[in-house]
């Protein structure tokens, strides 16, 4: 989104990585008053957290760019809003997406609110996504680099956040971002890309869950209901998972988790076909730029059920039932590993309409 007024004050969420560093550089070069803000959300080193290293890189980047630096302590809020949610969802046998919640509650929640309360005109992040304004309405678009697009994680943003947010690298390819970082000799230019859970990094999910969820042996059933093995607790598995359970007899074909019975602590496993489906429902609906069902009960558009996953053509039908307002999703082709708890995001071309949580 172009901004013509100079010296507007922008709080850049500086993680210490290359994307947010280049975002800060680009904004500074455009003449804005840029303040680097490092959000401290986690520091348990055994979980793979690199918070100390990240903060050090963020400080070095701010010094290199000659901009102010500020650190905010969001550890308590992150624990309550993201980590507790993560554990609670797994304990219910669902597969949550902590990055979606982190963006809603932390980056575009308490960070956004802090910035608005402290005299900033905008916040900015290193997300690969874009914002477009048309007729007074703000739209969330995919990042230009399809291999790095992060719009899936941002579908729960609304008009207030989009109107005050900037994604400086969203219109660039990752290769261009790296080139800029090297040319300007940014400290993060050669840092490896961060992966894993938002603010924590790469973790072994089972080990992470074992800190609060105990093992409880249960049965593994085939799709016909026959007992064929055992497992250590359904909360350690997600639909589509291939490993982790123990089978009594060798299976000539790979077996995947098809479904989970939380009450009985039972896993049902089957073929890749068994673990795929064409129809399912979503609830907890959120629309970015207005309700597309305002004048109709049915729409057709693209859908993703995981970050950077295949974009499926689908038909959506609005329903009202015991679970409240839901959408029935009918795909043109079966999708593998449709897991309850995951986000389902609707796309109209490059525009993110919104989405919901798979029931």
Distance CA 308, CA 315 (A): 20
Active site residue 198: yes
The secondary structure of residue 193, as a DSSP letter, is P
3-state secondary structure 25-55: HHHHHCCCEEEEEEEECCCCHHHCCCHHHHH
Cβ atoms 17, 49 nearer than 8 A? no
Cβ atoms 355, 288 nearer than 8 A? no
Alpha helices (runs of H) in 199-294, residue ranges in sequence order: 205-210
The angle subtended at Cα 61 by Cα 59 and Cα 64, nearest 5°, is: 110
Helix (H) or strand (E) holding 318: strand 312-321
Neighbours of 3 (CB within 10 A): 14
The secondary structure of residue 164, as a DSSP letter, is T
Distance CA 90, CA 339 (A): 12
Distances from the Cα of 222 to the Cα of 225, 247, 257, 258, angstroms: 5, 10, 10, 9
Catalytic pick from 198, 301, 344, 359? 198
Phi-psi bin for 172: left (phi > 0), alpha (psi -120 to 50), beta?
A: beta
Give the start-end residues of each E strand in 135-205.
137-142, 165-166
Q: Which two tokens stand for residue 269?
A: 């496993």
Scored b (16 or more CB within 10 A) or e, 319-344 reads eeeeeeebbebebeeebbbbbbbbbb
Distances from the Cα of 132 to the Cα of 90, 138, 165, 320, angstroms: 36, 6, 11, 32
Catalytic pick from 49, 102, 301, 359? 102
Among 255, 253, 256, CA closest to 339: 256
Active site residue 41: no
Name residue 71's beta-bridge partners. Answer: 38
Catalytic residues: 102, 198
């Amino acid at each position: 989104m172009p901004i013509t007024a100079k010296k507007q004050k922008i709080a850049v969420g500086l993680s210490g990585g290359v994307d947010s560093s280049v975002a800060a550089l680009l904004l500074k070069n455009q003449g804005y008053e840029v303040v680097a803000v490092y959000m401290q959300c986690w520091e348990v080193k055994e979980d793979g957290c690199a918070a100390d290293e990240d903060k050090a890189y963020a400080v070095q980047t701010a010094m290199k760019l000659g901009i102010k630096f500020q650190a905010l302590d969001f550890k308590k809020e992150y624990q309550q809003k993201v980590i507790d949610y993560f554990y609670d969802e797994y304990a219910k046998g669902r597969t949550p997406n902590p990055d979606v919640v982190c963006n809603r509650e932390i980056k575009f929640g308490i960070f956004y609110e802090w910035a608005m309360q402290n005299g900033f005109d905008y916040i900015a992040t290193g997300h690969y996504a874009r914002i477009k304004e048309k007729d007074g309405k703000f739209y969330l678009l995919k990042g230009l680099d399809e291999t790095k697009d992060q719009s899936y994680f941002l579908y729960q943003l609304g008009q207030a956040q989009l109107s005050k947010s900037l994604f400086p690298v969203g219109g660039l390819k990752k290769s261009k971002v790296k080139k800029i970082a090297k040319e300007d000799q940014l400290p993060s230019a050669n840092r490896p890309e961060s992966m894993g859970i938002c603010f924590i990094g790469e973790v072994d999910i089972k080990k992470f869950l074992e800190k609060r969820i105990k093992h409880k042996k249960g049965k593994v059933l085939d799709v016909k209901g026959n007992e064929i093995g055992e497992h250590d607790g359904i909360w350690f598995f997600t639909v589509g998972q291939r490993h982790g359970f123990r089978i009594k007899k060798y299976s000539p074909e790979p077996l995947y988790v098809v479904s989970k019975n939380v009450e009985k602590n039972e896993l049902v496993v089957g073929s890749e076909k068994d673990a795929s489906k064409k129809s399912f429902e979503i609830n907890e609906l959120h629309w970015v730029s207005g309700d597309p069902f305002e004048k109709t009960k049915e729409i057709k558009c693209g859908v993703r059920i995981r970050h950077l996953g295949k974009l499926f053509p689908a038909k959506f039908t609005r329903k009202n039932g015991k679970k409240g307002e839901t959408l029935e999703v009918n795909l043109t082709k079966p999708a593998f590993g449709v897991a309850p708890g995951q986000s389902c995001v609707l796309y109209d071309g490059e525009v993110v309409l919104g989405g919901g949580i798979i029931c």
